[in-house]
Amino acid sequence: METKITRGPIVNCANLSMTFGKSCVLDKIDFTAKPGELHCIIGPNGGGKSTFVKSLLGQLRHEGSISLEWDNQPGRIGYVPQTIEVDKTVPLTVENFISLCVQNRPAFLGISKRVKKEIDSVLERVNMLHKKKLLFSELSGGERQRVLFAQALIPSPDLLILDEPMNSIDRTGAAIFSGIIDDLKKEGVTVIWVHHDLAQVREKADVVTCINRSIIFQGVPRDVMDEKHLLEIFTAQPVQEAI
Amino acid sequence: MEMIYDLFRHLIQNLAQAGILPDSLTYTFVINALLCALLIGPTLGAIGTLVVAKRMAFFSSAIGNAALTGIAIGILLGEPVASPYVSLFAFSILFAIFLNFAKNRSGMSHDTLIGVFLAASLALGSTLMLGVSKTINVHILDNFLFGSIITASSDDITLLVVAVVATIVIGIKNYNRFLLSGLNPSLASVRQVPVMKYDYIFVILIALITVASVKIVGAVLVEALLIIPAAAARNISRSLKSFVLWSVLISTTSAVVGIILPMQLELSIPTGGAIIIVATIFFIATLLLRIIRRQ
| pLDDT < 70 positions in chain B | 1
Same domain, A20 and A66: yes
The answer for A 122-141 residues in CB contact with B (under 8 A) is 133, 135
Strand order from edge to edge, sheet including A77-80: A77-80, A159-163, A190-194, A38-42, A207-212, A214-219
Counting residues of chain A whose pLDDT is more than 70, the rounded percentage is: 91
Amino acid at position B4, single letter: I
At residue A166, the pLDDT reads 65
Same domain, A141 and A96: yes
CATH of the domain at A189: 3.40.50.300
What distance in Å separates residue A138's CA from the closest CA in chain B? 11
Residue B263 or residue A113, greater confidence? A113
Residue of B nearest to A159 (CA): B190
Same domain, A72 and A161: yes
Same domain, A184 and A234: yes
* Lowest pLDDT segment from A84-93, A146-155, B131-140, B195-204: B131-140
Rounded CA separation B223/B208 (Å): 12
Same domain, A68 and A160: yes
At residue A167, the pLDDT reads 65
H or E stretch covering A190: strand A190-194
Biggest distance spanned by C-alpha atoms of chain A: 56
At residue A236, the pLDDT reads 60
Q: What is the mean pLDDT of residues A216-243?
A: 72
What distance in Å separates residue A81's CA from the closest CA in chain B? 7
Same domain, A65 and A115: no
Contact B234 A89 (CB under 8 A): yes
Evaluate if residue A1 carries a pLDDT over 50: no
Rounded CA separation A56/A45 (Å): 18
At residue A238, the pLDDT reads 52
Contact A89 B241 (CB under 8 A): no
Chain A and chain B share a number of CB contacts under 8 A equal to 84
Contacts of B172 (CB under 8 A, 6+ apart): A106, B46
Mean pLDDT of chain A, nearest integer:
88
Q: What is the DSSP letter of A138?
A: G
Residue of B176, B238, B245 lying closest to A107 (CB–CB): B176
Q: What is the mean pLDDT of residues A12-29?
A: 90
Structural domain ending residue among the three candidates A155, A188, A214: A155
Residue A6 and residue A35 in contact, taking contact as beta carbons nearer than 8 Å: yes
Domain region containing B112: 2-17+25-294
3-state secondary structure of B267: coil
Contact A57 B190 (CB under 8 A): yes
Residue A46: pLDDT band (50, 70, 90) is confident
At residue A207, the pLDDT reads 96
At residue A234, the pLDDT reads 66
Residue B42 and residue B247 in contact, taking contact as beta carbons nearer than 8 Å: no
Evaluate if residue A2 carries a pLDDT over 60: no
For testing the chain B interface, which of A100, A109, A119, A160 should be mutated: the one with the most B CBs within 10 Å?
A100
Structural domain ending residue among the three candidates A106, A133, A155: A155
Residue of B52, B238, B240 lying closest to A108 (CB–CB): B240
Residue A220, exposed/middle/buried by CB under 10 A (0-12, 13-18, 19+)? exposed
At residue A243, the pLDDT reads 41
Residue A113: pLDDT band (50, 70, 90) is very high
Q: Which pLDDT tens digit goes with each residue over A174-227?
A: 889 989 999 999 999 999 999 888 888 888 999 999 999 999 899 999 888 887
- ipTM of predicted assembly, 2 dp: 0.89
Strand order from edge to edge, sheet including A63-69: A23-33, A10-20, A63-69
The total number of structural domains that make up chain B: 1
Evaluate if residue A242 carries a pLDDT over 60: no
Same domain, A23 and A131: no
Contact A91 B241 (CB under 8 A): no
Evaluate if residue A112 carries a pLDDT over 90: yes
Whether the link from the prior residue into B22 is cis, omega within 30° of 0, is no
The total number of structural domains that make up chain A: 2
The HSE-up count of residue B9 (CA atoms within 13 Å, CB side) is 15
Q: What single string gives the DSSP state of each residue in B128-167? A: HHHHHHTTS-THHHHHHHH--STT--HHHHHHHHHHHHHH
Q: What is the mean pLDDT of residues A11-18?
A: 93
Biggest distance spanned by C-alpha atoms of chain B: 62
Same domain, A148 and A165: no
| Chain A contact present for B106, CB below 8 A | no
- Cβ contacts (< 8 Å) between A91 and chain B: which residues? 234, 237-240, 242-243
Residue A241 or residue B184, greater confidence? B184
Residue A241: pLDDT band (50, 70, 90) is very low
Rounded CA separation A160/B158 (Å): 50
3-state secondary structure of B222: helix
| Chain A contact present for B243, CB below 8 A | yes
At residue A58, the pLDDT reads 87
Residue of B nearest to A132 (CA): B239
Quote the Cα angle for A209-A214-A219, to 5°: 25
| Chain A contact present for B105, CB below 8 A | no
Same domain, A64 and A183: yes
CATH of the domain at B84: 1.10.3470.10
3-state secondary structure of A73: coil
Domain region containing A179: 1-9+16-76+156-243
- Cβ contacts (< 8 Å) between A151 and chain B: which residues? 187
At residue B186, the pLDDT reads 92
* Number of Cβ atoms within 10 Å of the Cβ of A159: 25
Structural domain ending residue among the three candidates A138, A155, A172: A155
